[in-house]
Every structure is written in structure tokens, then in C-alpha cells.
């Protein structure tokens, strides 16, 4: 096979109908739930939101769950509810969605980025402890791509240094750390239910906690209309019963959808593990990885082209893909200009962000789709390897 055989250069693509990177799994159950809400004439926040919250709290294993308009809103309210003050520091892994440092900035705190682990891409424990100071008010470990962070060690550091822990579970619905659901370990856990996530309400988010005082404050902060008689600046971060109706149906099938993601990931790994220069996703022994994303690492020295060229070639073969996240957070233009970070502190994150590529793993994939993903990936890497 020659380079001209790649679809990018005029060859026949593996797939003529592209395979999407993400696709929500919607069935008649979601449709029926929404119709029921519409017919009830109660479409704003109401009984279905409360039911969704109760069911989600039970699923995660926390006392409380509060549904809000987005994962970003959940994170913002989490920081407010624990009293993160201006000019304190919140430690965040450098491989992250921009919504995380933005939420920290909303409350006037400093988002201190921390380098990441080369295997899991989650926050590096060594770098985390190096960055803790007397200004550290909270740490936000992100369970990236559905692989839980090292929670025992992070909680030990929390107890030692006295900071809050907010678990970012936006990509990790149903993931487990040592047999227990993520979101139930820290002071607070936050989830996103955006359309691409392991379960969806379209737009939305959920905050979970075992602390009554936090749950009570978040409920006031979520609904500015209920805060008119108390001295607090609140927001309009509610969701509707329509969204909650979708969420209830999604929660019912979450374990089944995660099982399909895991099965798809295992099939991909079994065929891609021996490609020279390509690292398949790492899985720690003590976790349940729920594969929000299936992310490959392309060793730069083993390929003639850049990761971006590989991504373009794979898309030309009919396999949609994603680069999450690049640049690393310390290089986001707003934060780099404002804080002028020392790039040498983020060597792992810089390398990872230039080398990772996510390919489809969602539960809508058929076996032939998975075979085509494997064949296209092999076709592209064969032509670009040195």
C-alpha cells in the first residue's frame, strides 16, 4: 500500500458514510417521558426534576443531588458553596476543558494548573503536592475520559493540608474507584449531562454531596427567585422537567450503555494494541473505566506526520475523531496572557496534548463500525509510521 491509497490523497476511503465521534443513545423511553411531561402542562422545574435528583443521588451513593443547567454551572455553584474566596488558589490538572478554570475565575480565585500523569492523563500526584500552598482552597481532580483519578492519595493530601476536594465527573457517570462510584468521595462531585456525555439531558448538570449544608446552599444559589429574602447573590441555573424526563430514562440504561462502551473499547484495544508507536488507553487495576472517550497516544518520534495530519487522514477515511484537549490549559490564550505560566512545569501535558486522538467508542456503534475504525486506524498509521 502506498501513501496515494489514503483517502486524503485520492484513495478509496474505508467508510463512505462517516462514523460520528459521539452520538446520544435515545430510545422510545425518552420520547414517552417527554410527551408525558408536555401533556402534564408542568414543563419547568418540578416533580420530575426532584425524582431525577433522588434517583441520581441513590445511583451515585450520596445523600443529595441537585440538578442544574450545565456541568459548568454545577462547578461554579460547587466553588461558591464551599466558600472559595478571591485570591485563593484552586488546583486543576492541565489537561482539562476550559470550563474548569473559567469556573474558578468566576469566583475570583486563581486556577493553578498542575501537570498530569503520563498513563491516565489525570492529575499527577507528585506535581499536585509540589503545588500545594497556604493559598490552596480546593483541588478539582478530573476523571478524564471516564478513568477515575487517584482519589485515596488526593483525599489523604486534603486531610493533611486542609483543602476541599471537588470531583469533576463530567465524563465519568458510573465510573468506579475501588468499587465505589466516583462523585461520592470528595466534598462535592459534579457531572455534566451534555449531549455527548455517557448519559444526557441535552444540556444540564448535576451536583452531588453528602453534606447537608452544601446541598442547602446550592439549592438557594441555583434559583435566584428563592433567594430574595436572604443575603446571597444567586443565579438562574435551574433545569426543566423536560430535561429531567430525558435524564430519568438515560439513568435507567446508564449501566447498559457503559457496558457497551467498555465492550467496544476492549474490542478496539485487542486490535490496536500491537500497532508500533501507538499507545491504547491505560486502565488502572482498581478502577472501572467507562470510556467517555477512547483516546490513543501517537508517539511523535515514530511517525512522519504530526498528530493533526493523522487526524485529518483518519477523518478522510470516514472516521470522525477529536483532540481533547489541545492546547493544555496553561496555554489557553486568556490564561497564558494573564498569568504567563512557566511552560517547563507542564512537560507531560504539553506532550500529551500534541499526541492524543480520540476515536469513536459510543454505544451506537455496530460491530462492522468497530472493524472499520480498526482498519482505518491501521491503514493511516501504516502509511505515516517511520
Nearest-angstrom CA–CA distance, 238 and 88: 28
pLDDT of residue 1 exceeding 80, the answer is no
Share of the chain above pLDDT 70, in %: 100
Kindly report, residue by residue over 340-356, the tens digit of the pLDDT: 888 889 999 999 999 99
Kindly report, residue by residue over 181-209, the tens digit of the pLDDT: 999 999 999 999 999 999 999 999 999 99
Q: What is the rounded average pLDDT of the residues 112-122? A: 98
Nearest-angstrom CA–CA distance, 167 and 92: 11
| Helix orientation angle between 47-60 and 241-272, rounded to the nearest 10 degrees | 30
pLDDT of residue 228 exceeding 80, the answer is no
Kindly report, residue by residue over 210-226, the tens digit of the pLDDT: 999 999 999 999 999 88
| Helix orientation angle between 367-384 and 307-316, rounded to the nearest 10 degrees | 130
Q: What is the rounded average pLDDT of the residues 36-65? A: 97
> Are 361 and 367 a contacting pair, CB within 8 Å?
no
Kindly report, residue by residue over 270-326, the tens digit of the pLDDT: 999 999 999 999 999 999 999 999 999 999 999 999 999 999 999 999 999 999 999
Nearest-angstrom CA–CA distance, 369 and 365: 6
CATH-assigned architecture of domain 3-24+254-384:
Alpha-Beta Complex (3.90)
* Mean pLDDT computed over every residue of the chain: 97
Query: 146: phi > 0 → left, psi -120 to 50 → alpha, else beta; which?
Result: left
| Cβ-based neighbours of 235, under 8 Å, separated by 6 or more | 73, 76, 77, 221, 222, 224
pLDDT of residue 63 exceeding 90, the answer is yes
| C-alpha R_g of the chain | 21
Residue 357 DSSP SS3: strand
pLDDT of residue 227 exceeding 80, the answer is no
Kindly report, residue by residue over 262-277, the tens digit of the pLDDT: 999 999 999 999 999 9
DSSP-derived secondary structure for 197-218: SSS--BS-EEEEES-HHHHHHH
Kindly list the domain boundaries of the chain, sorted by start residue. Answer: 3-24+254-384, 28-249
Question: Measured in whole angstroms, how far is the alpha carbon of residue 376 from the centre of its chain?
Answer: 26
DSSP state of 322: B
Residue of 23, 135, 197, 320 marked active site = 197
Three cell numbers at 277? 508507536
Length of the chain equals 386
Output the pTM of the full model. Answer: 0.97
Task: State the CB neighbour count (10 A cutoff) for residue 130.
Answer: 12
Nearest-angstrom CA–CA distance, 54 and 103: 26
Q: What is the CATH number of domain 28-249?
A: 3.40.640.10
| Cβ-based neighbours of 219, under 8 Å, separated by 6 or more | 66, 226
Residue 341 DSSP SS3: coil
Nearest-angstrom CA–CA distance, 306 and 337: 26
Active site residue 238: no
Please give the pLDDT value at position 350: 97
Amino acid at each position: 500500500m502506498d501513501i496515494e491509497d489514503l483517502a486524503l490523497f485520492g484513495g478509496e476511503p474505508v467508510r463512505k458514510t462517516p462514523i460520528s465521534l459521539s452520538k446520544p443513545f435515545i430510545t422510545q423511553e425518552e420520547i414517552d417521558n417527554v410527551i408525558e411531561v408536555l401533556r402534564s402542562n408542568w414543563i419547568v422545574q418540578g416533580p420530575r426534576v426532584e425524582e431525577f435528583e433522588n434517583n441520581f443521588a441513590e445511583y451515585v451513593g450520596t445523600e443529595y443531588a441537585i440538578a442544574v443547567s450545565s456541568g459548568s454551572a454545577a462547578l461554579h455553584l460547587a466553588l461558591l458553596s464551599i466558600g472559595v474566596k478571591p485570591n485563593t488558589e484552586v488546583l486543576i490538572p492541565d489537561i482539562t476543558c476550559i470550563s474548569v478554570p473559567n469556573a474558578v475565575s468566576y469566583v475570583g480565585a486563581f486556577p493553578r494548573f498542575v501537570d498530569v500523569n503520563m498513563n491516565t492523563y489525570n492529575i499527577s500526584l507528585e506535581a499536585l503536592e509540589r503545588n500545594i500552598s497556604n493559598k490552596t482552597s480546593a483541588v478539582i481532580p478530573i476523571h478524564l475520559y471516564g478513568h477515575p483519578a487517584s482519589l485515596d492519595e488526593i483525599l489523604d493530601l486534603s486531610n493533611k493540608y486542609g483543602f476541599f476536594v471537588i470531583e469533576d465527573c463530567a465524563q465519568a457517570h458510573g465510573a468506579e474507584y475501588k468499587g465505589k462510584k466516583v462523585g461520592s468521595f470528595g466534598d462535592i462531585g459534579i457531572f455534566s449531562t451534555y449531549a455527548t456525555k455517557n448519559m444526557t439531558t441535552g444540556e444540564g448538570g448535576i451536583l452531588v454531596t453528602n453534606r447537608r449544608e452544601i446541598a442547602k446552599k446550592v439549592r438557594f444559589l441555583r434559583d435566584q427567585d428563592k433567594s430574595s429574602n436572604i443575603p446571597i447573590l444567586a443565579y438562574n441555573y435551574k433545569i426543566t422537567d423536560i430535561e429531567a424526563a430525558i435524564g430519568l430514562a438515560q439513568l435507567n440504561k446508564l449501566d447498559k450503555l457503559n457496558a457497551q462502551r467498555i465492550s467496544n473499547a476492549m474490542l478496539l484495544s485487542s486490535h490496536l494494541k500491537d500497532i508500533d508507536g501507538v499507545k491504547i488507553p491505560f486502565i488502572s487495576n482498581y478502577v472501572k473505566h467507562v470510556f467517555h472517550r477512547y483516546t490513543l497516544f501517537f508517539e511523535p518520534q515514530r511517525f512522519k506526520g504530526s498528530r493533526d495530519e493523522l487526524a485529518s487522514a483518519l477523518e478522510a477515511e470516514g472516521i470522525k475523531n477529536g483532540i481533547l484537549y489541545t492546547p493544555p490549559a496553561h496555554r489557553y490564550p486568556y490564561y497564558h496572557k494573564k498569568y504567563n505560566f512557566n511552560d517547563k512545569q507542564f512537560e507531560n501535558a504539553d506532550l500529551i496534548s500534541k499526541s492524543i486522538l480520540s476515536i469513536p467508542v459510543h454505544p451506537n456503534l455496530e460491530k462492522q463500525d468497530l472493524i472499520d475504525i480498526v482498519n482505518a486506524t491501521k491503514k493511516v498509521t501504516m502509511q505515516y509510521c517511520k
